[in-house]
């Protein structure tokens, strides 16, 4: 239902912007099909909407949006606050493509106490629902929630079962539930336990300790030593838990501290959560943005956040002080009675500084993913590929004069290593130096296997080498009857060899497309050499025991395998005997290991 403060509603074309009134209101940009592209608010509709068509420097996203605008609807409001409320309602209803839409970057759990039940339960909750239950959190991890529930069971014996069973369960017998199911506790006594649990979650540790100390002394005076012992244990548990809670503030603040970071087409909001004077964690939200100012992004975030999350209060940096009256007026109209504050104390400013640093860090992480995407698009363009090269597989060879030759295969997805798909190959076909034949074998074995298992093939294959290595890989694929995009990257000048060019392609040194090929190539080289070195060391160790009486092929294999997992090479005679080495050979084996160790140890 539309708000009652609408005064007028109009629609114009982009060529008729000069007809827009210089009044506060909301504008709705649509494409030729009538789909809503963007909804915005303005103090001056004509000035604000005109700015979209007059800007010489637009982001790519804004330029794309403006090129699609066919019609502009506008609604006049009485003031800016009403425009802000109307804009929020329309965005929530229509969710336009180009508006700032924040999404939670992580799942944050809650503790839920089911107050609507006669004997309330304490349970793990995945989200905060609008029911009669009491929620605590959000917490930074599921492990933290389970730790709290465990402590509350030990302290106050609150039940966790979905329904009251007909007989007591294990939790009663291990003193983690007071068993209301078999009337071991009455309703009033149980409600007192629940009240203590709530106060504990609210951070009233010292008050609870003081109360339990008084009850402990009172029970002792009455010679109720068993009851006094229970209170003593509760005090010890609370004190022990309190010592692990590291971040306390000098004042008993209950609020959310909000900061933003924005660059290019991304924005990140960080909310630092403070409850009962204790920092309990942070929440991270991100959004794509167009040409919105930081002020507009903050407004949109707070409107979204306060509609989704129950907040005890919001602290903002002093640079946003001028926004607070307008936002507070909006909140009163939207029935979200949340107080907004400006950080003035040292502690408040420190919390916002921490939130700002976290926002910048999260933004850098998001932008690095964006850069990877841009590199892949550039790579698709420069190599003239039919599809975006999301999956790139790289090959390299490592050997010494053909001996212990190995091939490595690494796999990148979305510009990042996918180590679950890394593979090593011991070269079988050659014992003499022949990189071309070895590349042929590795490529043939890899894609023959994928074809047999009917698995997905990569979007691009990268060979470490030049034209000869490229042709060897192409030959292997041709013999398998498949066609894949293949390029080779030669290290000397970073030349890129492709099947369809007589001369190599050379990209600028700062090219993101070149950087992603280099990362794949360097990783194949590292992976090949690590495998080669392991095989070489294993071979040397195996030959170390040649000619020792009583050490045949089987015992040599046992020794080599054991040494491969025992890099210090230090064994006692008893350990060698336990491996099946005959007593007559033990001394010689130890002597050769000692000699080998001296030769291979780095100089001091």
pLDDT tens digits, 217-243: 888 887 878 778 888 888 888 777 765
Residue 315 belongs to some domain of the structure = yes
Residue corresponding to tokens 């599921």: 142
Q: Residue 399 belongs to a domain with what CATH number?
A: 3.30.420.340
Same domain, yes or no: 465 and 571:
no
Region of residue 5 (left: phi > 0; alpha: psi -120 to 50; beta: else): alpha
**pLDDT at residue 62 greater than cutoff 60:** yes
Least confident of 43-47, 287-291, 472-476, 538-542: 538-542
Determine, yes or no, domain membership for 220.
no
Q: What percent of the chain is predicted at pLDDT more than 70?
A: 83
Q: 354 and 260 in one domain? A: yes
* pLDDT for the residue 341: 92
Domain assignment present for residue 499? The answer is: yes
Task: Give domain status of residue 509, yes or no.
Answer: yes
> What is the predicted pLDDT for the residue at 368?
62
Q: Is the predicted pLDDT of residue 569 greater than 70, yes or no? A: no
Q: Which helix (H) or strand (E) holds 528?
A: helix 512-543
Same domain, 180 and 261: no
Does the structure show a pLDDT above 90 at 144? no
Mean pLDDT of the chain: 80
Name the domain boundary from 512, 534, 556: 534
Measured N-to-C along each axis, helices 553-564 and 512-543 cross at an angle, to the nearest 10 degrees, of 140
For residues 345 and 293, state if they share a domain: yes
Shared-domain flag, residues 458 and 498: yes
| Structural domain that includes position 57 | 8-99
In this prediction, residue 460 carries a pLDDT of 95
Same domain, 82 and 52: yes
> In whole angstroms, what is the distance from residue 456 CA to residue 461 CA?
13
**Is 404 found in the same domain as 518?**
yes
User: Would 214 be classed as within a structural domain?
Assistant: no
Same domain, 118 and 90: no
The CATH number assigned to the domain holding 316 equals 3.30.420.10
Cα gap 534→549, rounded to integer Å: 27
Strands 134-136 and 255-263, sheet pairing: unpaired
For residue 211, give Cα distances in angstroms to 153, 205, 417: 19, 10, 57
Query: Per-residue confidence at 548, pLDDT binned at 50, 70, 90?
Result: confident
The pLDDT of residue 410 is 92
Mean pLDDT along residues 478-489: 93
Segment 351-358 mean pLDDT: 83
Task: Based on the fold, state whether residues 506 and 561 are members of the same structural domain.
Answer: no
Where residue 401 falls among pLDDT bands split at 50, 70, 90?
Answer: very low
Task: Give the CATH number of the domain where residue 75 resides.
Answer: 3.40.1440.10
- Which token pair is 421? 């798909």
Ranking 176-190, 490-504, 536-550, 567-581 by mean pLDDT, the lowest is 536-550
Whether 404 maps to a domain, the answer reads yes
Higher-confidence residue: 538 or 450? 450
Quick one: 483 and 410 in the same domain? yes
Based on the domain organization, do 445 and 467 belong to the same domain?
yes
- For residue 342, tell me if it sits in a domain: yes
Last residue of a domain, one of 534, 553, 581: 534
Share of the chain above pLDDT 90, in %: 16
The verdict on pTM exceeding 0.85 is: no
Rounded Cα gap, residues 564 and 538, in angstroms: 7
**2-14 core/surface letters (b: 16 or more CB in 10 A; e: else):** eeebeeeeeebee
The total number of residues written for the chain in this structure = 604
Judge whether 487 and 462 are in contact, CB under 8 Å: yes
120 shares its domain with 168: yes
Instruction: Measure the CA–CA gap between 141 and 311, rounded to whole angstroms.
Output: 19
The tally of domains found in the chain comes to 5
Q: Is residue 514 part of a domain?
A: yes
Residue 56 has pLDDT above 70, yes or no: no
């Amino acid at each position: 239902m539309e708000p009652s403060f609408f005064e007028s509603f109009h629609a114009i074309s982009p060529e008729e912007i000069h007809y827009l009134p210089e009044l506060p209101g909301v504008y709705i940009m649509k494409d030729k099909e009538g789909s809503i592209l963007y909804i915005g608010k303005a103090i001056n509709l004509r000035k604000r909407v005109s700015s979209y068509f007059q800007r010489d420097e637009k982001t790519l996203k804004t330029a794309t949006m403006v090129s699609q605008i066919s019609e502009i609807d506008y609604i006049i409001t009485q003031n800016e606050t009403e425009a802000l409320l109307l804009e929020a309602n329309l965005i929530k209803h229509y969710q336009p493509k180009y508006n700032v839409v924040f999404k939670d970057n992580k799942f944050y759990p809650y503790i839920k106490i089911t107050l609507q039940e006669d004997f309330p339960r304490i349970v793990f909750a995945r989200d905060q629902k609008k029911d009669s239950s009491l929620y605590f959190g959000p917490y930074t991890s599921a492990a933290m929630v389970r730790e709290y529930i465990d402590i509350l069971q030990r302290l106050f014996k609150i039940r966790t079962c979905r329904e009251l069973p007909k007989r007591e369960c294990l939790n009663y017998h291990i003193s983690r539930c007071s068993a209301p199911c078999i009337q071991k506790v009455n309703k009033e006594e149980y409600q007192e336990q629940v009240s203590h649990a709530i106060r504990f979650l609210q951070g009233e540790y010292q008050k609870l300790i003081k109360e339990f100390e008084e009850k402990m002394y009172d029970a002792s005076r009455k010679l109720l030593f068993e009851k006094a012992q229970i209170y003593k244990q509760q005090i010890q548990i609370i004190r022990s838990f309190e010592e692990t809670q590291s971040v306390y503030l000098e004042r008993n603040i209950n609020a959310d501290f909000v900061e933003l970071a924005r660059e290019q087409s991304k924005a990140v909001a960080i909310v630092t959560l403070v409850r009962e004077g204790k920092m309990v964690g942070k929440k991270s939200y991100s959004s794509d943005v167009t040409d919105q100012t930081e002020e507009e992004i903050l407004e949109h975030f707070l409107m979204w956040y306060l509609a989704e999350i129950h907040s005890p209060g919001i602290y903002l940096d002093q640079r946003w002080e001028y926004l607070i009256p307008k936002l507070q007026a909006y909140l009163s109209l939207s029935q979200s009675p949340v107080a907004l504050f400006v950080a003035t104390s040292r502690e408040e400013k420190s919390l916002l500084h921490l939130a700002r640093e976290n926002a910048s860090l999260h933004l850098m992480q998001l932008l690095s993913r964006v850069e990877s995407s841009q590199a892949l698009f550039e790579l698709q363009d420069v190599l003239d590929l039919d599809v975006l090269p999301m999956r790139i597989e790289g090959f390299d060879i490592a050997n010494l004069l053909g001996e212990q030759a190995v091939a490595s295969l690494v796999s990148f997805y979305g510009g990042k290593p996918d180590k679950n798909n890394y593979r090593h190959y011991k070269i079988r076909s050659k014992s003499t130096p022949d990189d071309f034949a070895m590349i042929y074998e590795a490529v043939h074995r890899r894609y023959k296997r994928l074809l047999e298992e009917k698995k997905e093939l990569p979007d691009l294959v990268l060979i470490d080498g030049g034209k000869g290595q490229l042709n060897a890989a192409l030959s292997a694929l041709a013999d398998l009857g498949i066609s894949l995009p293949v390029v080779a990257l030669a290290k000397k000048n970073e030349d890129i060899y492709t099947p369809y060019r007589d001369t190599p392609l050379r990209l600028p040194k700062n090219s993101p497309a070149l950087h992603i090929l280099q990362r794949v190539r360097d990783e194949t080289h590292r992976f090949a050499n690590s495998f080669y070195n392991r095989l070489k060391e294993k071979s040397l160790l195996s030959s170390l025991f040649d000619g020792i009486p009583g050490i045949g092929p089987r015992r040599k294999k046992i020794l080599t395998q054991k040494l491969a997992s025992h890099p210090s090479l230090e064994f006692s005679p008893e350990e060698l005997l336990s491996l099946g080495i005959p007593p007559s050979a033990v001394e010689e084996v130890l002597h050769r290991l000692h000699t080998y160790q001296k030769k291979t140890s780095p100089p001091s």
